[in-house]
Structures are given as C-alpha cells and as structure tokens.
Structure 1
C-alpha cells in the first residue's frame, strides 16, 4: 500500500495541483491508516493490498481515532482523505469498490472563528505602525500587518515574492489553494510601510544571492511557515491576546472585522480565496452576535426584567 500512497501524493501534486503542505497531510493520514491496518492484523502476510480493505476495517479505524481522543474535525478530514485515495485507486483500476463510500462524517457543533477584538487589534496596529530601522523588528511588524490587512493564510504569506507586489497600484498577487491566484488591495499605509521594509532589507543586505522572497529569515533565506507562526504568536502575546495566537486568528480577524463594518459575504469570500461561499458564511455568525450585543445594550426595553414586562 505504501507505493500506492506515494503515487497518490504525486497525483495530488501534478493533477490536483495541491500544495506541498496538503500533500503532506494527506500522506500522513494514509500512513496512519496503513499502520492501523497492520497493527489490527489486516496484513497477515506483511503485504497490505487495497482490494482487501473493507467497510468494517474503515469503521474500526474511525472508532479507534475517536476513542483515542482525535478531534472530530481531524477524524472527518481523515475520512475524506481515505475516500479520495480509494476514489483515485478506482480510477486507476487498482480496486473495484470504495470501502469509504458509505462512511459518513461525524457530526459536531460548529465552532465560531476565534478573532481579536477590534479595540485590541487597533492598539496593536498602532504599535506596529511605528517604523523601525532594524530588519527583524520591521519584518515582524510587516508580517502581522500584512496578515491582518490582507487576510492571508500563513503559507500564502511565506510564498510571496517581490514580483507579487504592485506598490504603485497598491495590490498584491496571492497564490492560494489549488494554485488559484487572486489579487488583494493594499491599504495606502500598508503599501507605504512595505516600501520602508524593503529599504531596510536592502540597507542591511539581508538578501542572500538572488533570493526574491518578500519575507526572509535573519539568515537571508525564505521565511518558513513555522517562522511566520512564531512571529505572530510573539506579537499577539505581547499585545495581551489570550487563547489562540496563530496566523489563522489574524485571518479570522480580518474577515470578521470586514463583515462587522458592512462588507458583503461575497466580497469577503473573494478576498479570502474561499472556493465555497459556505466557508465564508460562518463569519456572519460573529456579526450577528455583535448585533445582538449592541441591540441588548441600546434598546430601551432590553433591560426590563420579567416582572416589568
């Protein structure tokens, strides 16, 4: 089965144009299933053939994942991965049936996106907008400002190049999931600050060779997605943000604040690069909660107790 997993990974990259991180996640999910099958005696002769895998095996694996505490969202992703894998094997003629076809996703309560309140975000932005002549400080500030101003995924930010920027036209080209490109407007202050960042970068001669990535490590290499996470966590921690402090929290914050200030769901969908409108509509829940809070605070009858009514 190992060979088929590797072939599936190559198919994902070449034909589905999936990102390296997506392929890595799919591969780990499938290797985890393969390990389960071997541990449970599904490969008695040492060879695990996909055709021998049945619905009972898949359900047993799902139950084991649930019993060991795997989050519902992660279990559902793994089910989806395995279903896609067997769909690929059927297309290639390796198997004649998909044992995951009748396995349904687990039900779970939908969690609202975690975001930073606007008042706290405003204070953080004011601090970060103070320019610095030191490369690391200027880069760290720009990483957070760009994530909040553009709603980027951390992998999208890490892959930005100098050619991605059009500072004169105040736009940035982003390569999203499925190699889909989108253009995002830059705020005037963000474009101006990017110019300063590039000046500092050039003055300190951080760039190594012909490296044209926008965000670099202190050694002049491309800033990794892990590096982006570390920077954001540090900045949000220093601002007193509790709970999750990841680049994705800034993406949620970007979308939530836009919706709270009247942006349409369709526009936010385009800016985020969501393929489905349903993925964007979750942000309307935060907007509704904000409206309820304002309503309950402002309406003259909201504070009446039951007896007065």
Structure 2
C-alpha cells in the first residue's frame, strides 16, 4: 500500500532510519547495521525486479536461504532477521505496506549455551555486596531485590509486576503473573521475607509519591520499578562483588534452580516453581549441574 507516488526503497529506508533514531533512540551503530541489512535485502529483491514495499514470506525465506549458502554465521543471520522484523512492523504501522510477512520468518538458531550460574558462595558474596556501606533506601531495595530474585527464582518481569497485595507473608508465598498471563503461586524463604519486610517498612515510603502504584518495588521517582533498573542494580552489585560482568537478574533465577537440583529437589517441582510449561525447558538445569560436576571432577580428581 504505497501512500506516495515517489515512494521507493531508498526513501523508505531513510524514513525508517529516522524512526530508529528519533522514536526508538537506537545507537548509530545499530541504525547503520539495520539499514545495511535492509539494503542487502533490497539488492536481493531488485535482482528479480522486487522491492521492500512488496515483501512476502516466500521472498524473505529465499533471501535468508541465499545468505546461508554464502556461509554467514547464525549470529549475523539472526541480526538480519531482527532488522527485517523491525522494518516490516514499522512499515505496516506507518501504512507503507498492508501486511507484515516477517512475523512468520524463522530466526536461525545459534549453538546452545548454558546459562550463567553462580556458586552458592558467589551468591552470598553478591548479597554481601548489597549490604556494604551505610544503610539507606537504595541499599534496602538492593537487598530485597537480590534476596527475592534468588529466594523465589521468579523472572525479572514477574518481580517488576508484583503489587503489595501479591505477597502473603503468613504463608511466605507470592502470586505472580508469568508468561502468557499465567498466574502461579511461588514460595520464598525467610531471608527474602525479612529483606522484603525491611524494604516495605523502612525504605519504600521514602520513594512513594501521590501517583505511585501499589507496586512492591518502586524507583527513586516513585514509579513502578522497570527491568532496566533491576538489571543495572544487579550489574552494579556484581561489579562490587567481583562477579561476571554479564551477570543478570536471570542469572539468579538460573542459580536458584541449579542449587535446588543439586540439593536433591524434584525436577517437576522445580518446573512448577519456575513456571515452565515444558519439562524440557527445566532440564537445561540438569545439564548445568552435570557441567559443574565435570568441572569439579577435572580440577580435583587425581586421575582426571
């Protein structure tokens, strides 16, 4: 659906580039990469008299197949698919096209990578880092964040969505809304309960404003905490504790699940705790435990 008679690939890409910069705030490097990927697609289409305004799934799969034959890495192919998906979603929203064929375009899978898992000692070191220095509001929030992420193994999105009414301190359980808007009840430990109560009693009120939501965790301006701030706080604590630079809130979820399995927890119970719809998803943690066992064996067994 062309809205302008002179609309062509270069004009559309220029408009899309401005969208990336002004509306989405993408970096110059990301803009350059995405537009370069889309020009590659444009050149592929032009060889058969096609253009970006008349895409369909068959053409996109043909383009992807042609790149596979050149030996491009799966990582590069995934980036190019991401660029196309972003572009076609924008084009449909802007009325440049009347469909979004990239929603059904499969992204190449990369090699399976095991998640970052902290040892129990490292986890305690991360908590110690949160407790360093003078007690203040941010410190109370940090301690509660780490304790609850590790103590309940919930996702960072689930943590950010928690309201005060979602916590039952008597039974020590949380009501969380997971993927697919599926609600489940998750237990948490005494250490997490104490940290959460301290935050609610002595910290949260300092950040509350008249427009604050009933969220358990607030940011300094009184709004519901977002995933970006949680990630930033975990990264800051990881640096203090000398932990991996790419440690994330999800790493605490991975660590909690792995530590439970290493201590004899039933796999299906861990599946239910994590909110996985498939047991196969949970089984990655058994692989993590095996890899950790192999590493310990290799470093400690005299005949390894």
Q: With structure 2 as the length reference, what TM-score do the two structures score?
A: 0.69
**Does the 8 Å CA contact 1:116/1:250 hold for their aligned counterparts?**
yes
How many aligned residue pairs are there?
261
- Report which stretch shifted further, 186-195 or 36-45: 36-45
5 Å-filtered alignment, 1:1-309, equals: 37-41=41-45, 44=50, 47-50=53-56, 53=59, 55-60=61-66, 67=72, 71=75, 74=78, 106=108, 108-126=110-128, 128=130, 134-204=136-206, 206-292=208-294, 303-304=302-303
SS in 1 for 2:186: strand
Distance 1:136 1:237 in 2: 16
Give the CA deviation at 1:250.
Answer: 1.2
**Does the 8 Å CA contact 1:152/1:272 hold for their aligned counterparts?**
yes
**Does the 8 Å CA contact 1:148/1:253 hold for their aligned counterparts?**
yes
**Does the 8 Å CA contact 1:58/1:100 hold for their aligned counterparts?**
no
Distance 2:81 2:156 in 1: 20
- Report which stretch shifted further, 224-233 or 119-128: 119-128
**Does the 8 Å CA contact 2:231/2:249 hold for their aligned counterparts?**
yes
Distance 1:263 1:76 in 2: 41
Give the CA deviation at 1:171.
Answer: 0.5
Spell out, residue by residue over 1:149-172, the C-alpha distance to the aligned partner (whole angstroms, 9 max, x if none): 111222221111112211122111
**Does the 8 Å CA contact 1:76/1:106 hold for their aligned counterparts?**
no
**Does the 8 Å CA contact 1:58/1:99 hold for their aligned counterparts?**
no
CA separation of 1:238 and 1:208: change in aligned 2, threshold 3 A: farther
SS in 1 for 2:54: coil
SS in 2 for 1:172: strand
Distance 1:154 1:229 in 2: 8
Give the CA deviation at 1:231.
Answer: 0.4
Which sections of structure 1, spanning at least 5 residues, go unmatched? 3-23, 25-30, 86-93
